[in-house]
Chain A
C-alpha cells in the first residue's frame, strides 16, 4: 500500500521533470549538425572573450550580491532601529525593475552625454577626455547594475532563514566562550548558508541568462555569443550547441550547490526561542540606516527617479484602454504562472522529501536548470516540441476524423506559460526547498506513523509551516514573469502584448522617455507583491515544537 502511494509521488515528479526536459532536450535536436567551421572561428576569435567576460561577470555579481544581500539581511533581522520596518520590505524593491531597464536608466544618467557628465563639463569647463569618469557601459558597469538588481534574491532567502532561527545555538556558543559576533557567524550564519547559496545560485543563473543589459552595454558574454551565432552567423544549430555548453556549466553550478548543502545542518523552527533583535542607540541606528540605504538607493531610487524624469518628458498618454489591456495581460499571466509554478515546485520538492530516490533528486535538480538559459532559447525549445505535437494531433484528426485542429498549444498562452515554468521553476523551488529543509523530518515520521497520508501531512502540517516560503516563491515568480521579455516576444499569441514587451519595443527603438511609462508600471505592479511579501513573512508563525 505504502509503496504504491509513493509511486504516485515519483510519477508526479517525473512528469514535472519531463515538462522541463522537453524544451531543453529540443536543444539537442536543434543543435544537431556539424558546425566545426563555426567552432573553429569562435575558438580563434571571440570565444575566450565570451568565457572570460561571463566568468568575471559571475564572480563580480556573486561577490557583490552576497555582500549586499547578507549584510542587509543581518542588519534588519538582528537589530532594532527606527525605520527598520520600512527597509525590511523596501530592500526588495530593486527586484521589481527589469535588469535592462536599470541598465538604460544608469546609462541615461552616467553616460558621456548624460546630465552628470554634461554638468561636470559645463561647470569645470572641461572637454570629453580631459577628465576621468567610469564608463557605465562596460563590464564593470554590468557587474554594478546586475548586483544592485539581483541582491534581493539573497537578501530575501537569507532574511527568511535568519528570522526562522532559534537563538539556542548561539546561546550555547556564547556560553562556550565565543564572542557574540563569532557565535553568530558560527551558528546563525552557518545555518543560513544553504539559503544564501540557494539565493546565490539564482543570482548566478540570472546573470548567465541575461541578454538585454549586457547587449546594451556592448559586453560580449556567453549569452550574447549564442545570439550572435544565431542571428549573425545564421547558425541555429551552432547557437543551440553553445546553449548546451552553457547548460553544462549550469549543471556544474547546481552540483556544487547541492554538494555544499549536504554538510548543512538541520534547523528547527522553534519560535519559542526566537532570538531578540538588539536595540541600537542613535549613532548605531544612523550607521545601520546608511548601510542599508545604499542598496535601496542604487538599486531602486536612482534608476526609478531617472524613469520618472523621462516619464514627464514623454508625450505618451498613460491611462489609455490599451494600457489597461497591457496591465491585465501582464498581471493575469504572472498570477497564473506563479500559482502553477508554486504547485509544481511544492510537488517536486515534497516528492523528494518523502521518497528521496535518484529519480526525485534528478527531477528536483533538472527543473532548476531552465533559469540559466536565455528566454529566447527556452522559447524556441518550447515551441518545437509543442508545434510538433500540434501538427501530429492535427494530421491524426484530419486522417481519422476529417477535422483540422490547427495549432492547439503553440501560438497560445499555454506555450507561453510552459516556457515561463521551464524558466522560473527554479525560483519557486529555491525558497520552498530551503523552507522544507528547515522543517524537522521527525514531524513527517510521527504524522505518517500515526496513519496520516502524505498529502494530508503536506496539507495540514507542511503547507501552514511553509507559508512564508510559499508566499516568497509565488511572489518572486510573479515579479519575474512581470519582467519577462524574450520568451514572451517569441511565443505570445496575436495582438497580445505585455508591459515588458511594450517597454522593450520603445526602449530598443531608443525611445527611452516613452518606454519609461510601461517600465514604471512594471515597477508599480511589482511593488504591490513586494509589500505583500514582506507583510506575509512578518506575520507571527504558528509554531510546532518537536522534541
Chain B
C-alpha cells in the first residue's frame, strides 16, 4: 500500500514539475481576457495593451526588420511564433476562444483564403489600409490585406533565350526539349501558378499543359527556387520558373561569388504580357476574430502597409510592394515593368486542391 502511495506521490511530483514549467515561460503573455462585456472583471489585461501577438508563416528573419521598426515607432511589443501556415491555422482553431493570436501573417493568398473559409478572421475596417493598398490586393470582404507581391516569372539563360518563350503556355511546347528546371508540385508557388491558370484555362487543357511541362523537364523536380537558378547556370537546363526575390537576393550578395555568378547568367522573361499577365501571389495578413489585442493588431497591419514598411519589403526582401509609387531596388527596376495577372487572389485558394490533383495526374512529382 505504501508503494501505491509512493507512486502517487511521485506522479504528483511529476505533475508539479510540469506545472512549474508553465510558470517559467520565457515570455509570459497575459492571455487573460476580461470576463464580461459589462466589465465586471475587466482589468486583468492592462499589460497586454502594449503588445501584439503574431502567428507568422513568414520566416522570422524576413519580418524582423519590419517588426523592429514597428516596435520602435509605436512602443508596442510584438510576440512572434513562426511556423507553417496550415499548422498555425490548426493551432488557432484548437485554441478557440482563448487563442492569444492577434494577427495571422501568411506567404500566400491561398492560406489567407483558407483562414477566411475557416471563419477565424474578422473584417478589417481601416481608412489607412484602403488608401495604402490597391483594391485588387484586398479581400472583397476585408478579411485580409495583401502586403507584398511575389512574382513567379520565367527565367532563361542565353541558350533558353533563343527558344522564343513568352508565356507559361510555351513551357509545354515540344520543341523545348529537356530544358526546364522547376521545383516540386508540392511547393505552394507552383500550386498557386497552376491554380491561377485554372481560372482562365479549361482544366483538361491545364492538365495537358502540365504533361507537356513534365515532358520538358531536364531533371525530376527537386530543391528550392535558388537551386533551379544554380542548375540553369551550371548548364543542366536553360529555362526555369522561380520567384524573383530569390534571384534578386542572389544578385544582391556579391560576397557569395558562386551564387552571384549563377544568378547573373539568368534573364527574367515576364510571361503572358499580351493576355492575363505574369503570375503573382501575395504575402498578407488578417486579424483574428478571437484576438485579445485587436487594436494593436490593426496598428501592426496598418504599419506593414505604410510607405516605410513597403520600402523595406522592396529593399530588404526584394519583393514588390503593394503600395504604388514606391521606389524599387535597382536590381528589381532593372528587370523593367510588367503586367501582373489581375485575377482575384481568392481564386488561388479556391483552386488549390484542384491544381494539386491536376499536377498529380500529369505526373508532376
CB within 8 Å of B: which residues of A? 1, 4-5, 7-9, 11-12, 15, 41, 44-46, 107, 111-113, 117-118, 121, 127-129, 135, 137-138, 215-218, 220, 224, 227-228, 230-236, 313, 315, 329, 336, 340, 343, 376, 379-380, 383-384, 387-388, 390-391, 394, 398, 402-414, 417, 453-455, 489-497, 501, 505-506, 508-510, 513
Q: How far is the CA of A414 from the CA of B59 in the complex (A)?
A: 24
Q: What distance in Å separates the Cβ of B354 from its nearest Cβ neighbour in chain A?
A: 9
Instruction: Give Cα distance in the complex from A135 to B219, angstroms.
Output: 10
Tell which of B114, B246, B365 touches A218, judged by Cβ atoms closer than 8 Å.
Answer: B365
- With known contacts A218-B221, A505-B59, A490–B44 Cβ distance under 8 A: no
Assess whether B231 is in contact with A406, with CB atoms less than 8 Å apart: no
CB distance from B283 to the nearest CB of A (A): 13
Report whether B3 and A454 are in contact in the complex, using a CB–CB cutoff of 8 Å: yes
Name B181-240 residues within 8 Å CB distance of A: 183-186, 188, 191, 219-227, 230-231, 233-236
> What separation, in Å, do the CA atoms of A489 and B82 have in the docked complex?
7
CB contact under 8 A between A8 and B27, given known A376-B84, A490-B87? no
B308 within 8 A of A: no
Asked if A8 and B352 make an inter-chain contact with CB atoms under 8 angstroms apart, the answer reads: no
- Cα distance, A408 to B222, chains bound together (Å): 42
Which one of B21, B29, B186 contacts A414 once the chains associate, using CB atoms below 8 Å? B21
B84 x A490 contact (CB < 8 A): yes
Please state if B246 and A510 are interface contacts (CB–CB under 8 Å). yes
Contact B3 A383 (CB under 8 A): no
CB-CB under 8 A for A387 and B3, given A404-B44, A412-B25? no
Chain A residues near B221 (CB-CB < 8 A): 218
Q: How far is the CA of A113 from the CA of B81 in the complex (A)?
A: 35
Q: When the two chains form their complex, are residues B18 and A414 in contact, meaning their CB atoms are under 8 A apart?
A: yes
28 A-B contact pairs sorted by A residue (CB < 8 Å): A5-B1, A12-B7, A111-B223, A112-B231, A113-B230, A113-B233, A135-B219, A137-B222, A215-B186, A216-B223, A218-B222, A220-B186, A228-B356, A231-B86, A380-B90, A404-B33, A406-B31, A409-B22, A410-B94, A417-B18, A494-B79, A495-B26, A496-B81, A505-B60, A505-B61, A508-B224, A509-B61, A510-B224
The residue of chain B having its C-beta at the shortest distance from the C-beta of A316 within the complex is B61
Report the minimum CB–CB distance from A494 to chain B (whole Å). 4
User: Which one, B95-103, B144-152, B321-329, B338-346, is touching chain A?
Assistant: B95-103
Complex contact A45–B360 (CB within 8 A): yes
Which of B33, B87, B99 has the most chain A CB atoms closer than 10 A to its own CB? Answer: B87
10 residue pairs, one from A and one from B, having the closest CB atoms = A218-B222, A113-B230, A494-B79, A232-B356, A8-B4, A387-B94, A406-B31, A45-B360, A113-B234, A137-B222
A410-B94, A412-B22 known; A510+B32 contact, CB < 8 A: no
B50 at the interface (CB under 8 A from A): no
Q: Which residue of A lies closest to B190 (CB)?
A: A232
Complex CA gap A224/B99 in Å reads 29
Q: Once bound together, how far apart are the Cα atoms of A467 and B262, in whole Å?
A: 54
Which residues of B have CB within 8 Å of A218? 183-184, 220-223, 365
Complex: how many Å from CA A21 to CA B87? 21
Given the interface pairs A376-B87, A495-B79, A510-B226, the reply to whether A113 lies near B231 with Cβ below 8 Å is yes
Any chain A CB within 8 A of the CB of B80?
A: yes
Q: Does B91 contact A (CB under 8 A)?
A: yes
Q: Is the CB of B22 within 8 A of A510?
A: no
CB distance from A481 to the nearest CB of B (A): 14
Q: Are A404 and B32 in contact (CB under 8 A)?
A: yes
* Chain B residues, Cβ within 8 Å of A129: 235-236
* Of the residues B84, B94, B100, contact of A489 by C-beta under 8 Å: B84
Shortest distance from the beta carbon of A37 to any chain B beta carbon, whole Å:
9
Residues of B within 8 A of A492 (CB): 81
- Chain B residues with CB below 8 A from A453, complex form: 3
Query: In the complex, which of the residues A227, A414, A494, A496 contacts B22, with contact meaning CB atoms closer than 8 Å?
Result: A414
Residues of B within 8 A of A509 (CB): 59, 61-62
Q: Which residues of A contact B25 (CB under 8 A)?
A: 412-413, 493
Tell me the smallest distance from the CB of A420 to a CB of chain B, in Å. Answer: 12
Name the contact of B256 in the complex, choosing from A15, A313, A394, A402 (C-beta under 8 A): A313
The residue that B236 contacts in the complex, of A112, A224, A380, A403, with Cβ under 8 A, is A112
B83 close to chain A: CB less than 8 A: yes
Kindly list chain A residues whose C-beta atoms are within 8 Å of the C-beta of B123.
Answer: none
With A127-B235, A412-B25, A413-B25 known, 18 other A-B pairs at CB within 8 A are A5-B4, A8-B6, A45-B357, A45-B361, A112-B219, A137-B223, A236-B90, A313-B256, A398-B35, A403-B41, A410-B95, A412-B22, A414-B19, A455-B3, A490-B91, A492-B81, A495-B79, A496-B26
Asked whether B230 lies within 8 Å of A111 as measured between CB atoms, the reply is yes
Docked CA distance A193–B17 (Å):
38
